[in-house]
């Protein structure tokens, strides 16, 4: 059986994801689709709209055959580290192909860009340092540095978010000497960060979440942009947990963590550096909500996404020492769900998988998964008190979701 791998967040699963999944399976001529999906906290430094279990079910009901969790130590990171973890999981799962969506849609442009930058590495690195010295963010410095090196139309636009991720996926494949072959399909209609609907059937997850939070009953405006299964699962989640997760749900906990921490304690938190602890403390005392807090700490040097990731690490009390060590490859495969076809694939490759395959957390004793456990506990703070314990227990007791 031939497997194609996807690296996803499905926050929530929408028609654009369905298109990507179908196009990937066809382009790779694959029998099985394996999705590596972020857990309850995401790459942009946000809590997922609904839990990873509901998002897993959305994926399986819409064409994915296996869903593995991307561990917290990779899921809440910059593009390079995010890519390292996700690619290593697909490699361990013996995928033949990785298919990602991109603004480019041309895989040759990715290889040409990477080859060119390897030849110009020293100049590229110097340019990045120079631009960062002017006060711009790292992603901006990356794009500006590349633009200064070359204006060839055959190269990638490294200012585009999906091009950046694809670039890092292929870099990770090369560095890990993976046998996985990368292919890309063009993104359809909506841009990654679009906040407004610009098509009749395809919308970005950002615009869908915005519509959900601005709607009176949750999700009536999004019906044409998501599969029926997503619509029903969102309704079910809201009915059971009475909430969709967003940063404001966690503001009180984040503010408490900040105002009860000293500058020295904050400096131990992952990604708190360059005196940011003082800015964070001052803003926490003056802010009434998360949006106001973010507006106070935002600077030209740090992107909104970078600061949100930092806030996730403060919320989960994730320290630099805990994140030290292996940020190159995942050390386990956490199985969240599978279909009948996915189960058959896993049975065939099980003896050749080089990493521990975790189907139930309570049976795994490795310390490396403790960050995921802590993140799940913190995520549960976003639901009403009488449901918190149920959500925490699910992390340990929930077997992989199985869809026949």
Q: Which residues are annotated as a binding site for ATP?
A: 7-20, 101, 162, 187
Query: CA–CA separation, 3 vs 253, rounded Å?
Result: 42
Number of C-beta neighbours around residue 259 at 10 A: 10
Distance CA 113, CA 23 (A): 24
Task: Say how far apart CA 225 and CA 245 lie, in whole Å.
Answer: 20
Alpha-carbon distance of 180 to 183, in angstroms, equals 10
Between β-strands 181-186 and 66-70, what pairing exists: parallel, antiparallel or unpaired?
Answer: unpaired
Is residue 107 within 8 A of residue 186, CB to CB? The reply is: no
* CB-based burial, 368-382: b 16+ in 10 Å, e otherwise: ebebbeebbebbbbb
CB 39 within 8 A of CB 10: no
Residues placed in the known binding site:
7-20, 101, 162, 187
DSSP state letters, 277-305? HHHHHHHHHH-SSHHHHHHHH--SSS-HH
C-alpha to C-alpha distance for 105 and 147, rounded to whole angstroms = 19
Judge whether 6 and 99 are in contact, CB under 8 Å: yes
Q: How would you label 151-181 residue by residue, b for 16+ Cβ within 10 Å and e otherwise? A: eeeebbbbebbbbbbbbbbbbbbeeeebebe
Please report where in the chains the tokens 């490294």 appear, as a residue. 158
Q: What is the C-alpha to C-alpha distance for residues 141 and 130, in angstroms, rounded to an integer? A: 8
**How many angstroms separate the CA atoms of 39 and 23, rounded?**
24
Residues 6+ apart with CB under 8 A from 130: 145
């Amino acid at each position: 059986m031939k497997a194609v791998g996807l690296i996803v967040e499905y926050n929530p699963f929408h028609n654009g994801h369905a298109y990507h999944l179908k196009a990937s399976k066809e382009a790779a001529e694959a029998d099985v689709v394996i999705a590596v999906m972020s857990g309850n906290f995401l790459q942009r430094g946000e809590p997922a709209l609904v839990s990873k279990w509901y998002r897993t079910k959305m994926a399986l009901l819409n064409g994915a055959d296996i869903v593995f969790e991307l561990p917290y130590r990779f899921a809440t990171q910059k593009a390079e580290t995010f890519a390292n973890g996700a690619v290593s999981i697909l490699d361990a799962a013996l995928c033949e192909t990785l298919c990602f969506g991109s603004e480019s849609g041309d895989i040759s442009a990715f290889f040409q860009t990477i080859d060119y930058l390897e030849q110009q590495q020293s100049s590229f690195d110097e340019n990045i340092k120079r631009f960062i010295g002017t006060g711009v963010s790292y992603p901006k410095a990356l794009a500006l540095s590349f633009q200064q090196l070359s204006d060839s139309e055959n190269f990638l636009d490294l200012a585009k978010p999906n091009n950046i991720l694809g670039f890092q996926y292929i870099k990770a494949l090369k560095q890990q000497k993976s046998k996985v072959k990368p292919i890309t399909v063009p993104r359809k209609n909506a841009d990654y960060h679009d906040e407004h609907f610009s098509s009749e059937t395809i919308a970005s997850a950002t615009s869908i979440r915005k519509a959900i939070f601005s709607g009176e009953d949750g999700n009536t405006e999004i019906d044409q942009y998501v599969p029926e299964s997503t619509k029903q699962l969102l309704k079910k989640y809201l009915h059971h947990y009475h909430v969709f997760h967003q940063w404001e749900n966690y503001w009180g906990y984040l503010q408490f963590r900040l105002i009860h921490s000293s500058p020295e304690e904050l400096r131990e938190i992952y990604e708190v550096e360059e005196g940011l602890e003082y800015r964070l403390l001052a803003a926490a005392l003056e802010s009434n909500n998360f949006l106001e807090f973010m507006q106070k700490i935002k600077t030209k040097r740090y992107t909104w996404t970078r600061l949100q990731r930092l806030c996730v690490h403060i919320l989960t009390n994730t320290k630099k020492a805990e994140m030290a060590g292996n940020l190159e490859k995942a050390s386990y495969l956490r199985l969240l769900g599978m279909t009948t076809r996915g189960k058959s694939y896993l049975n065939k490759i099980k003896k050749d998988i080089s990493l521990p395959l975790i189907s139930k957390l309570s049976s795994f004793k490795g310390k490396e998964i403790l960050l995921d456990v802590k993140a799940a506990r913190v995520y549960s703070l976003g639901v009403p008190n009488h449901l918190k314990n149920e959500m925490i227990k699910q992390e340990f007791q929930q077997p992989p979701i199985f869809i026949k």
